[in-house]
Every structure is written in C-alpha cells, then in structure tokens.
A and B are shown apart, each in its own frame.
Chain A
C-alpha cells in the first residue's frame, strides 16, 4: 500500500501569510495526487486534482505542484475562510490512501 505522509500535522498562520503543506508518497504515484479541504462537520471539498489542476470554483490563491513522490499545496495569501484541515490523497492504485491531514489554525 502507498503511504502518504503529510507535514506539518498542524500549522498556525495569519491572514495574508503564504502557507505550504507537503505530502510525500512512499512510492511513485505519477500524477494521481489530489488535495482536499475539510471544515468541521462538513464533507471534504476537492481543491486540486492531478497534482496542479485547480478544481472549478476554487480560488486561484490555491496551487499545487510536485511529481513522483513529493507534492506541495500552497496558499499564496491566507484568507479567513481557509482555516480548515487539508488532506492529500493518492488515486494511483487501490487502496486509495490519504495523508493524515494538516490542521491550519489562526495565529
């Protein structure tokens, strides 16, 4: 099974900050890497698919990059509505696996 390791597990940042979350896969997952945002009590929401493609309706301050085993989610200028938990996920092979999550909190 592919293990997905996210870092950091939690992060405190201020409005306007640039924030980066990293995700490492235990083996190559090609471009089958996706990012989700989840707010308390809500379903996850797809932000970025296939490493770097922005899902329709998602603000352009969100971006993704990487290849092979190392991937990054960047929020260029943090907004109040971005405080949430973020998950990476690989769909290269079953079992699909998620990172453990990064909780983004207000500083």
Chain B
C-alpha cells in the first residue's frame, strides 16, 4: 500500500530549539517537496528535491533546512532562525524525471506549535 507518511502529527517547539519533521514515501517517486500552510492562505513552497543529494530553495526557505540522502526520505528541519514557525507542514512527492504533466501527492501533514 503505497503512500506518503509524515511524523509526528503534532510537534511542539520551544524557543531557540531546532525541530525535524519526517517525510517518507514508498511510491518510488524521484521528486519531493515541503509546503507550509497558514490559516486562510494557500500552500507555499519551502524546499524541493528532484533527485537524491540535490535540493532547491522554494519561495520561503529562510529558517528551514533539508537533506535528501535517500530517495524515500526528505526530512525538514525548522531552525531557531524561523521566527514564525507555527503552521501546518505538508510533504509531497511526484514522479519527477522531467515529466511535464505530473501530479504531486501529499502526506497527511504535521502541525507545528510553539510553546
């Protein structure tokens, strides 16, 4: 049963703390993405990766970092430099491989709250 898993479902961050959100997919997709959703807003792209060991900044990358050491995994770290981290974080994946008309599929999301 293929899909995208994100953990944890809820995450609490203290001031000055870095936290890491997990994203795993078993769809054999090359491309993976991280989005942030704030109330009343659309999804905004934080980082994306088209292939292992490669990633690019999206529209709102400041205060975040990623790694892509394995095809299946694309963890997102929210650093202490991110001053407004409270949001709903969504991971997505797609086939990639230069396909033009491709669809991104989303995980269930992680809600990050600041204590």
Say whether A associates with B. no
